Amino acid sequence: MIDPNLQHTLRKLRLSGLASSLDLRLREARGNNLDHLEFLELLLQDELNVRRQRMIERRTKTAAFREKRTLDSFDFSFNSSINRRQIHDLAAGTFLDRSEDVLLVGPPGVGKSHLAQAIGHELIKAGKVVLYRSIFDILADLREDGHDQKHERTMKRYLKCDLLIIDDMGIKQLPQKSGEYLFEIIMRRYELRSTMMTSNRPLEEWGKLIGDVPAATAILDRFLHHANLIKIKGKSYRMKEAANRTLD
């Protein structure tokens, strides 16, 4: 049994991972005749593992994903138009180092949102800061901020993350001034931070979608300059799942 004073000291030093595993590691050290260095390495690794898991949980919560999606749960075999290697390369995060953007385009139900959130999860595990928002969440935030000071606080949230995921472009016509808000985000992140977007509409329809052709042109000019464009075709996963439920 570990001395309570030692436990208190460890927790005061914020070494809770080490504190929780110390008793087990002491028994392991005695049973396997570990030397001092091996024992210390195990303890420090326990602490690092606990801190990493807490970081992942904290950043996942802050990212505000709509659903818990992973690459392991994605059925690549259902849609052959999706390049598995390309998706896993994005999940490795090297595009962030180059401040590149990503656009996933395709009809509803082909897995764009799943892939975007799954890539976001992988990047969080790699230590990156990710924020997931639908385009409608972003527009609501920026329409409601009103004053300049609050606007900057709102924008800071969208500008400081390593990856901003903007989902649901093209589901319906965007409200007035949407082009101005979206352009500000894209412009201020341009060549500094990476942005990932999903869209149900082809690029040539963005002017009509946003209701502002010059703004749409300016957005795409910057966004596509250093972008990975992923076009997804094929059947809908949601229709497949609905059909399976019907058969059941």
* CATH code for the domain in which residue 227 is found: 3.40.50.300
Q: Can you tell me whether residue 89 is helix, strand or coil? A: helix
Best-predicted range by mean pLDDT among 16-25, 61-70, 143-152?
61-70
Same domain, yes or no: 96 and 218: yes
Residue 68 located in a structural domain: no
Same domain, yes or no: 90 and 43: no
pLDDT at 247: 43
Write out the two tokens for 195.
């942005």
Same domain, yes or no: 203 and 175: yes
Closest CA to 142 of 170, 183, 110: 183
Residue 87 located in a structural domain: yes
* Environment class of 102 (CB within 10 Å of its CB; exposed 0-12, middle 13-18, buried 19+): buried
Same domain, yes or no: 109 and 50: no
Same domain, yes or no: 91 and 24: no
Same domain, yes or no: 95 and 214: yes
Same domain, yes or no: 25 and 115: no
Predicted confidence (pLDDT) at residue 233 exceeds the cutoff of 70: yes
**Mean pLDDT, rounded, of the chain:** 88
In order of 37, 58, 60, the CA distances from 53 in angstroms are 24, 9, 10
Neighbours of 230 (CB within 10 A): 20
Same domain, yes or no: 53 and 80: no
Closest CA to 168 of 189, 140, 129, 130: 140
Residue 142 located in a structural domain: yes
pLDDT at 73: 92
Neighbours of 241 (CB within 10 A): 11
Q: What's the domain range around 27?
A: 4-61
Residue 69 located in a structural domain: no
Q: How far apart are CA 158 and CA 167, in angstroms?
A: 14
Same domain, yes or no: 51 and 129: no
Residue 239 located in a structural domain: yes
Residue 67 located in a structural domain: no
Same domain, yes or no: 57 and 90: no
pLDDT at 237: 66
Predicted confidence (pLDDT) at residue 127 exceeds the cutoff of 70: yes
User: pTM of the prediction?
Assistant: 0.84
Which of 111-125, 164-178, 216-230 is predicted with the least confidence, judged by mean pLDDT? Answer: 164-178
Task: Classify the phi-psi angles of 192: left when phi > 0, otherwise alpha if psi is within -120 to 50, otherwise beta.
Answer: alpha
The count of structural domains within the chain is 2
Same domain, yes or no: 31 and 80: no
Closest CA to 117 of 78, 60, 173: 60
pLDDT digits (tens, 9 = 90+) for 73-103: 998 888 888 999 999 999 999 999 999 999 9
Residue 101 located in a structural domain: yes
Predicted confidence (pLDDT) at residue 147 exceeds the cutoff of 70: no
Predicted confidence (pLDDT) at residue 17 exceeds the cutoff of 90: no
- Residue 245 — very low, low, confident or very high, per pLDDT cuts 50/70/90? very low
Write out the two tokens for 23.
């008793």
* Environment class of 245 (CB within 10 Å of its CB; exposed 0-12, middle 13-18, buried 19+): exposed
Residue 71 located in a structural domain: no
Q: How far apart are CA 182 and CA 139, in angstroms?
A: 8
- Residue 192 — very low, low, confident or very high, per pLDDT cuts 50/70/90? very high
Closest CA to 100 of 246, 239, 229: 229
pLDDT at 132: 97
Share of residues in the chain with pLDDT > 90 (%): 52
- Residue 246 — very low, low, confident or very high, per pLDDT cuts 50/70/90? very low
Same domain, yes or no: 145 and 235: yes
